[in-house]
Amino acid sequence: MRFWRTLRKAAMAAGAAVLRPALELYFVMKAPETPLKAKAIAMGALAYLILPVDLIPDWLPGVGWGDDITVMLGALRTLSAYKTPAIQQKARETAERFIGSL
C-alpha cells in the first residue's frame, strides 16, 4: 500500500515529526465513529503526504517535510474532537513498532 511505503520513507527522513501525526490521522480516518466530513479532511492531509507533488519538495534537506507536517498538524487541530485517547495510544504503539522495524 502506498501510504505505508511513503510513511516508512518519511519516518526514515524526518522521524517522529511525520510519523505520529500521520498515524493519528490514519486512525481518525479509519474510526467508524468519525463523521464523513472529518474522514475527508484526514484523507486530504494524508494524500498531501503521499502524493509526489508538494509545495516544497520532500528531498530538500531541513525543509522538505515541513509543508507535509504543517498540513497534518492543521488537520489534526481541526479534527481534535475525534482524536480520542485510544487513537493516540494506538498511534503511539504503532509508531514504536514502526520505528523498531526500520
Please state the domain extents for the chain: 2-100
More confident residue, 18 or 94: 94
The residue assigned the cell 464523513 is 36
Give the pLDDT confidence of 67-92 residue by residue, as tens digits: 888 899 999 999 999 999 999 999 99
What is the band of 102 on the pLDDT scale with cuts at 50, 70, 90?
A: very low
Residue showing cell 493516540: 88
Query: In Å, how far are 29, 46, 53, 84 from 88, measured between CA atoms?
Result: 13, 17, 28, 6
**CA 68 – CA 50 distance, rounded (Å):** 9
Q: Of 10 and 19, which is predicted with more confidence?
A: 19
Model-level pTM?
0.80
